[in-house]
Amino acid sequence: MREEMVVASSLSVTFEQHKVLDGVSFKVGEGEVFALLGGNGAGKSTALKSFLGTVTPSGGSASVMGLSVASQIDVIRQKVAYLPESVMLYGHLTGVENIEYFLSLAGITSAKDKIESALKRVALQQDAWYRSLSNYSKGMRQKTAIALALLREAPVLFLDEPTSGLDPSAIDEFNQLITTLASEGSTIFMVSHDVYGACQIAHRIGLLDKGKIVGMFEREGDNPIDTEAVHASFSKRNG
């Protein structure tokens, strides 16, 4: 059995008496790409944040790499990389400076050429690398943040809507990247509302609706998960 990297057991989160997550359980193994799929407000981001300690569960538990989020969040944060839903970086810094700064906060000093090759890998146009981030488009920021997540060289990546804001070719490149990372042993937990994209890259898909897992789809062999089946199930619930 593969190592269990990300585990949710009966996870519940309540905001102001409103149950956003209601007893969610799943496990993500090492080297696996797991996608949590759901409509707007389904609770996807909340589920993801439960592993980063920025949301406190009202019931159940979450753990990463065998470490409990409740008690060992500081250790977890040093081991994982997180791509937030809306990318928050500094407008007063350039793309490269942003990456340098946040890496240094994680205790990583990365050589310039390593940062540049990561930016190349996420296909951020070269003339933007040393320009102020305040002039970046949403997609460019997204790519910068993905490069940052890559450079963290974390065994587990938490990605919240990673392809939002990217153009189709960038999405293809991104999907390629995720597949490579997973084959190299990284564990990827992503949330998305893009059925097609998720089916392309995920080994498993959990369908989240109104705070509950309402379906699980698994890849058989090397074939992508059947988009039709997921889509049918998804649109039944999201109209």
Ligand X SMILES: Nc1ncnc2c1ncn2[C@@H]1O[C@H](COP(=O)(O)OP(=O)(O)O)[C@@H](O)[C@H]1O
Least Cβ distance, residue 41 to ligand X (angstroms): 4
Alpha-carbon distances, residue 147 vs 47, 96, 108, 122 (angstroms): 23, 10, 14, 6
- Verify binding: residue 78, another protein, rule CB under 8 A: yes
Cβ-proximal residue to Mg ion, closest one: 45
Q: Which is nearer to ligand X, 20 or 230 (CB)?
A: 20
147 backbone dihedrals φ, ψ, rounded to 5°: -60, -40
Q: Which is nearer to another protein, 53 or 165 (CB)?
A: 53
- Verify binding: residue 89, another protein, rule CB under 8 A: yes
Coil, strand, or helix at residue 14? strand
Query: Is the Cβ–Cβ distance between 98 and 148 less than 8 Å?
Result: yes
- Verify binding: residue 92, another protein, rule CB under 8 A: yes
Per-residue binding string, Mg ion, 85-104, x by CB under 5 A, is: x-------------------
Annotate 79-115 with b (16+ C-beta within 10 A) or e (fewer): ebbbbbeebebeeebbbbbbbbebbeebeeebeeeeb
Least Cβ distance, residue 48 to another protein (angstroms): 11
User: Taking Cα atoms as reference points, which of 204, 158, 146 lies closest to residue 48?
Assistant: 158
At 50, the amino acid letter reads: S
The tokens for 103 are: 């890496």
**Which of ligand X, Mg ion, another protein, none lies near 42, with the C-beta cut-off 5 to 8 A by kind?**
ligand X
Least Cβ distance, residue 167 to another protein (angstroms): 24
Alpha-carbon distances, residue 149 vs 51, 94, 100, 178 (angstroms): 16, 17, 12, 12
- Verify binding: residue 111, another protein, rule CB under 8 A: no
Least Cβ distance, residue 107 to another protein (angstroms): 7
- Verify binding: residue 93, another protein, rule CB under 8 A: yes
Count of positions (residues) in the chain: 239
Query: Is the Cβ–Cβ distance between 65 and 79 less than 8 Å?
Result: yes
Residues 75 and 84: their CA atoms lie apart, in Å, by 19
**Which of Mg ion, another protein, ligand X, none lies near 220, with the C-beta cut-off 5 to 8 A by kind?**
none
Selected from 25, 70, 101, 138, the binder of another protein by CB under 8 A is 101
Segment near another protein (CB under 8 A), from 23-31, 82-90, 136-144, 161-169? 82-90
Segment near Mg ion (CB under 5 A), from 37-45, 170-178, 204-212, 224-232? 37-45
Residues engaged in binding another protein (CB under 8 A): 52-54, 74, 77-78, 80, 82, 84, 86, 88-90, 92-93, 101-107, 152
